[in-house]
Amino acid sequence: METFRFSRFAGTWVAAAVALSGLLLGGVEAGAAEGKQTFDAKKCRDCHQTEGPAKAKTIQDQLATKGPELWYAGSKFKKEFLGKWLKDPKPIRPMEFNSITKKNPGDHPKLSGKDADEVTEYLMSLKSKDVEEGVVKPDKNPKNRNIFEKKQGCYGCHPVKRGEKILGGLTGPTLIGAGERLNPAWVYAYLKKPKVFKPVKRMPVYVDVLSDSEMKGVAAYIGTFE
CATH number at residue 176: 1.10.760.10
Cα(191)–Cα(207) distance, rounded to whole angstroms?
7
Average pLDDT for 171-197: 98
Segment 90-139, tens digit of pLDDT: 999 999 999 999 999 999 999 999 999 999 999 999 999 999 999 999 99
Question: What's phi and psi for 196, nearest 5 deg?
Answer: -65, -45
- Given 124, 153, 184, the domain boundary residue is 124
Q: How confident is the model at residue 31 (pLDDT cuts 50, 70, 90)?
A: confident
Are 162 and 83 within one domain?
Answer: no
Q: State the residue range of the domain holding 38.
A: 27-124
- Whether residue 4 lies inside any domain: the answer is no
Q: What is the pLDDT of residue 188?
A: 99
Are 38 and 106 within one domain?
Answer: yes
Kindly tell me if the per-residue pLDDT of 12 is higher than 70.
no
Q: Which of 16-30, 116-130, 147-161 has the lowest mean pLDDT?
A: 16-30
Are 68 and 100 within one domain?
Answer: yes
- Whether residue 95 lies inside any domain: the answer is yes
Q: Which residue has the higher pLDDT, 185 or 23?
A: 185
Q: What is the CATH number of the domain that holds 50?
A: 1.10.760
Q: What is the pLDDT of residue 29?
A: 74
Q: What is the pLDDT of residue 70?
A: 98
What is the model's pTM? 0.85
Are 118 and 72 within one domain?
Answer: yes
Average pLDDT for 154-181: 95
- Whether residue 183 lies inside any domain: the answer is yes
Q: What is the pLDDT of residue 52?
A: 94
Rg (C-alpha) for the chain, rounded Å, is 21
Dihedral angle computed from the Cα positions of residues 36, 39, 44 and 50, in that order, rounded to the nearest 10 degrees: -20
Are 42 and 120 within one domain?
Answer: yes
* Residues in a beta bridge with 182: 77
Are 89 and 169 within one domain?
Answer: no
Cα(213)–Cα(50) distance, rounded to whole angstroms?
30
Cα(119)–Cα(12) distance, rounded to whole angstroms?
36
- Whether residue 22 lies inside any domain: the answer is no
Average pLDDT for 175-185: 98
* Residues in a beta bridge with 207: 210
Kindly tell me if the per-residue pLDDT of 19 is higher than 50.
no
